[in-house]
Amino acid sequence: MEFGTDIDRIIKFKENLDEWGVSFFFPNDVVRILCYYIGDELTTRDVLYHQITDRTHLAYSIAYKADIFITSDGALQEFELPKKITDRGFYKPVTLPLIEFKRQFLLKKH
């Protein structure tokens, strides 16, 4: 592969990310604390029904004030945030499965 081709692909990829409105989020203390509070509130039964990665992603969406959180974890869609979190002014974004997100937001635009 030619050098110019690789650079062109990287530039095109970055342009696509910009066009799609993709953002990158990094761990910070707020994410860490939210993960702790969410995990601390879960009962043994809850832990069996929630995927740890989805709980972590939910904490990111809360910390970075996302409007919508997409997850296939049905139990997490119904999960209520611990009072420790809501008392500090954080909220849970609208939480939907992908198919519902497509139906409500993507298919409406066409």
Q: The tokens 């066009």 sit on which residue? A: 19
CA distance 11 to 17: 10
Query: Tens place of pLDDT for every residue, the chain, 110 residues?
Result: 455 688 888 899 889 888 988 788 888 999 999 988 888 776 655 555 566 778 888 999 999 999 999 888 887 888 888 899 999 999 999 999 989 988 988 777 55
Q: How many CB atoms lie within 10 A of CB 35?
A: 19
Helix (H) or strand (E) holding 95: strand 94-96
The pTM of the full predicted model, rounded to 2 decimals, is 0.70
Query: Are 69 and 93 spatial neighbours (Cβ–Cβ below 8 Å)?
Result: yes
pLDDT of residue 1: 45
